Structure 1
Amino acid sequence: MYVVATAGHVDHGKSTLVHRLTGMWPDRLAEEQRRGLTIDLGFAWADIDGRELAFVDVPGHERFVANMLAGVGPVPAVMFIVAATEGWMPQSQEHLAALDALGVRHALLVITKADLTDPDPAIEQAARAFADTAMADPPVAVSTDPDAVRAELTHLVDRLPAPDGTADVRLWVDRSFTVRGAGTVVTGTLAAGTLRVGDDLEHAGRRVTVRGLQSLGRDRAEVGPVARVAVNLRGVDRQDIGRGDTLRTPGTWLDTSEIDVALRSAGELHRELVLHIGSAAVPVHVRPMGTAARLRLARPLPLRVGDVGLLRDPGQHRIAAGVEVLDVRPPPLRRRGAARERAAELAAGRTRPPVYARASDLRAMGMPLEGQRVGDWVVDPTWWAQRRAQAVAAAQQWAAEHDVAAGMPLEALRRETGLPAVDLVVPLLAGAPLEVAGGRVRPPGLTLPPRVDEAVRTVEKWLAAEPFRAPDADALADLKLGPPELAAAVRAGRLLRIADGVVLGPDALGQAAEILRALPHPFTVAEAKRALDTTRRVAVPLLEQLDAQRITRRGADGTRTVNS
């Protein structure tokens, strides 16, 4: 299927020509038929020389330019209508400027009302206007010869580039309505990707399901590009979806409310304009940056690098500029001189991908997956190396300032280095002179500071003489061995913690097992306490540790046996 839009000044015969080619009158509204004036988008279709052609008929009156732009935004080709009786008119020029700004490159010029006057002056006027656009030297047909118009239409669509049926779907909605017994139906021009009955799509952050598809008035199981399509949806009310909204492949598009764009054919730019892109018309605040601009959108849109649109001043009824999206996640411009540097970067075409992003986000932004892959992320190699050096320095400084700590928490190191996610910290430190354990980072082989080492040596002497006489709280306090210092000694393998504030030598479990094995079995806590020459304060948690290690086995009566 091929989709062609009409364009041209009001009352130049666009709808009449579509009717003559298809046998269908595109004006569907009662007011349009009463007034003989196209107000909103109209649709018709026909088989022309073995090709299915769908037409999007647009209004020509200046009051309805926004409707016209919603119709031509996603369409790759246009049938431009000029009446021989009036020639080139103001809305002819505005429509042509809009098409050029939107990147339309394929056009057929059709002269209508040639039976009333010589068409050559109108052809010459149109040719001069088209010469300044990417649609220069369009083929020309005269509507009084419908067969010639049909032949030129087939040549036009045969030259169109092949669409990508495997691409992510982004259907710009141009109509929404309710069908009795079916529910919500939306229509649009499918420019890329494929829709199938049963597909889950995304709209406004929630999932909707394709209940049914129609194209050219027939039910379809699937529809590929480029096509006019009507989508019957489950999961959304007709009031919640309308022109300017999108249906898209879930998880593959990012909504953005700030973009950097290249300006094409830009005139005077006001600060407040309207961005027309796809079928959407969104007010924007414009910050000019030389041949580029930053746009702040009144509502977010799913845009990608390379999308084209236009800026329009509705108050003055003029096209302000064509735009091409350069960046959908632009850097902030808070620093002095940042806007000037960004303008130079954009002018030189050096728009770079972000220094870090998930691969899926880069795809959704329309940017290449260039850089170093780290799991699901793509990072700039230079930025990554800088973060690595910063991480090593930060962890070492932390160790120096927290000499008895277990190490720097991974989340603290993530914040220090500016990484977007904590799961990047471990890959960042691969090969670095650091070790990661228990959610913390520290230099390897970390020893106890002298003040702690000396105090632990004293405890070690006590335990060498009486292995199961753990020093009490007062003795530890005199040595300035608080919980952090004791934890550091345990991590260093110098002591074994069996309960809060209760420490023994690192081999205490093995020594206790040998002593207890010599007792008559089973034995009680009191018997174990006497054999180990200790107190109940030590004996109970020590036996629980032995149970946990399955060195001993506790019976139902509280007695224990050493496992063989």
Structure 2
Amino acid sequence: MIAAPGLVIATAGHVDHGKSTLVRALTGTDPDRLAEERRRGLTLDLGFAWTTAPGGRALAFVDVPGHHRYLATTFAGIATAPAVLLVVSAEEGWRRQTEEHLVALDAFGVRTGLLVVTRADLADPAPALAKAVERACGTGLAGAPAVAVSARTGEGLDLLLGELDALAADRPSPDPAAPVRLWLDRSFTMAGVGTVVTGTLAAGTLAEGDTLHLAPAGRTVQVRGLHSLGHAVPRVTGPARVAVNLRRIAADQVGRGDALLTPGRWWTTDRVDVRYEPTGGTDDGGRPPRLPAEPLVHCGTAATSARLRPLGRDAARLTLRTPLPLHVGDRLLLRDPGSRLLVGATVLDPEPPPLTGRGAAAIRARRLADIAEPTDPAVRLATAGLGERGRLAAQGYAVEAGGERWLFDRGHAERLGATLAAAVREHAEAHPADPGLPLAQARRLLALPPDTAWDGLAAASGVDLILRDERLYRADEADRLPAAVAAGLTGLLDDLRSAPFQAPTRRRLDELGLTAEALTLLVRRGALERVGAVYLPAGSVVRAARELAGLPQPFTVGEAARALAISRRVAIPLLETLDETGHTHRRPDGRRFLTDGG
């Protein structure tokens, strides 16, 4: 069985420069699958083949069309491959289509590859090699090894395989735990198997039984089986060419440009802010070429039209006709359908804010210009003030797993903290008997989501407030009672020392200065407990149950009142509370008895 692929390599280069012939010579497999391709000697669609390098690493090839008419197919092949063979014929040398493919490779961020001059038996390869090395300067393939070969004679093929082996060995292994985004390039039906889709798995791991999200359709699909390099396998880790057998979906419901995704780990969007890096030169004034108002956007194997709104010199907002599953930092290719202009772009924000109000575009342009590292959530948080951790992770921002749900921009948090500290102070002045500001009121004041954790805001803002019983206090008020409330509590407890169950009347509470706010505070602090409309010291309900256990069972309200030395004003709500807490059970005749729990 062939080993898991050490590298997936796409071909690129001008039409009829020997790309398919080279793949055939390296692998022994003809990548041209279609009868028309073989009849015309012209690659029309993506082809696939594989071989084993001298060091034992598997090499999978994606052969792409070279003709300008099939650019969309070419881009679908090279956009997902982690490496490339840029092919130039020794006979014809560097051509316009070669340049276009190099520009596209640079736009997609391909940085691994080889320069290969073919047909070295038909012409001196040295000029083509020199030109290829020169043109690669300043691109992602600068410094790439250059090899001259002849597929007909076999000259240079061993050297090329050795270079590919070294390339595979030197390339860092992708994260096997990375979220899967498998851009699909084929979909077909196999008898007895069902729907099969194929693609290049750049990173992450696929396994039989996995549940995946199909974008942009929004459907959930399940992996029935996997094949890689012609063999059934239980799991595949990128980089790899993989065929996926899907359950319960027809082949015509999925196709090229769709993507299989790890659920919840990608952000499917139809609006995105990007920074572009023109690779096709500048105009006479040294400015980047002007992008069309409606470019074609290529990402992975997908292509969609878009509306473009410029945001400064090198940034723009794209409104996509078809939503794409994206992360910040993803590479896009923008193409002018009316010319040969190709422009690379980097996703800066897959969920940009609306541009409303005068000067909004200019403000947004300045924000985007501040982004040095797209995956850093700092600029995003500075714009929004706060962000949901799971949402940011799905958009590709570098946020740690776990922790508080909401993340704050520090400046925004400090402003919120200052506002909150002032609100707590004002509340304490207006409500001296209960100085804590309710947390729900604080959230409304700051326009925070209802599930925002106080700890997260406190840590980000540095505010010196303490949360007690869902209320916010100044640090010096959190653990002590206001003086007037403490004095009132002392007086109440003195009153109850000889008659512990004889709750004070409303008049007596007023005399003690215990307002409704003060009583609520004492209940929250555990000093009192509310029994219906009256108040007793904490623990009174349990103590009353113990006292009533000494009565003959069942007992009446009057018998309970006499046993506890209280009036019916207190006895009735106390007994109803005992019923509610399960200490007593009331019979139809109105008498009660203690339960086992009592």
Cα 1:268–1:440 change in 2 (3 A) is: same
Number of residues paired by the alignment? 557
Partner residue in 2 for 1:344: 369
- Aligned amino acid, residue 234 of structure 2: A
Cα distance, 1:549 vs structure 2: 6.3
Distance 1:327 1:301 in 2: 13
Cα 1:471–1:230 change in 2 (3 A) is: same
8 A Cα contact 2:405 2:452, kept in partner: no
Cα distance, 1:66 vs structure 2: 0.8
Which residue of 28, 42, 46 maps to 2:33?
28
- Aligned amino acid, residue 190 of structure 1: L
Partner residue in 2 for 1:162: 172
The percent identity for this pair of structures is 45
8 A Cα contact 2:433 2:515, kept in partner: no
Map 1:210-221 → 2, pairs under 5 A: 210-221=223-234
Unpaired runs of 5+ in structure 2?
A: 279-287
Cα 1:394–1:173 change in 2 (3 A) is: farther
8 A Cα contact 2:328 2:374, kept in partner: no
Partner residue in 2 for 1:291: 314
**2:56 aligned with 1:46, yes or no?**
no
Map 1:418-457 → 2, pairs under 5 A: 418-420=447-449, 422-425=451-454, 428=457, 432-437=464-469, 439-441=470-472, 444=478
Cα distance, 1:230 vs structure 2: 0.9
Which residue of 4, 17, 20 maps to 2:9?
4
Unpaired runs of 5+ in structure 1?
A: none
Distance 1:542 1:147 in 2: 100
Cα 1:407–1:178 change in 2 (3 A) is: farther
Distance 1:469 1:140 in 2: 97
Which string of whole-angstrom CA distances, capped at 9 and with x for unpartnered residues, describes residues 75-131 of structure 1? 132222333444333222211211122222344344445555555554455444334
Which residue of 561, 572, 577 maps to 1:545?
577
Distance 1:447 1:29 in 2: 86
Which string of whole-angstrom CA distances, capped at 9 and with x for unpartnered residues, describes residues 222-256 of structure 1? 33332211111225433333222222334433334
- Aligned amino acid, residue 219 of structure 1: A
Partner residue in 1 for 2:237: 224
Which residue of 148, 154, 159 maps to 1:141?
148
Distance 1:110 1:40 in 2: 21
Which string of whole-angstrom CA distances, capped at 9 and with x for unpartnered residues, describes residues 502-542 of structure 1? 43665986998899799887542245567889876654333
Cα 1:93–1:399 change in 2 (3 A) is: same
Partner residue in 2 for 1:188: 199
* TM-score computed with the length of structure 2 as normaliser: 0.75
Distance 2:584 2:26 in 1: 94
Distance 1:485 1:177 in 2: 74
Partner residue in 2 for 1:368: 398
**2:98 aligned with 1:92, yes or no?**
yes
Map 1:295-314 → 2, pairs under 5 A: 295-314=318-337
**2:262 aligned with 1:240, yes or no?**
no
Cα 1:374–1:411 change in 2 (3 A) is: farther
* TM-score computed with the length of structure 1 as normaliser: 0.79
Question: Aligned with 1:346: secondary structure?
Answer: coil
8 A Cα contact 1:207 1:235, kept in partner: no
Cα 1:99–1:157 change in 2 (3 A) is: farther
Partner residue in 1 for 2:284: none
Cα 1:296–1:393 change in 2 (3 A) is: farther
Distance 1:513 1:221 in 2: 65
Greater shift after overlay, 523-532 or 60-69? 523-532
- Aligned amino acid, residue 541 of structure 1: P
Distance 1:493 1:147 in 2: 89
Cα distance, 1:69 vs structure 2: 0.4
- Aligned amino acid, residue 76 of structure 1: P
Which residue of 428, 442, 445 maps to 1:416?
445
Cα 1:496–1:362 change in 2 (3 A) is: closer
Distance 1:522 1:427 in 2: 54
Distance 1:150 1:184 in 2: 38
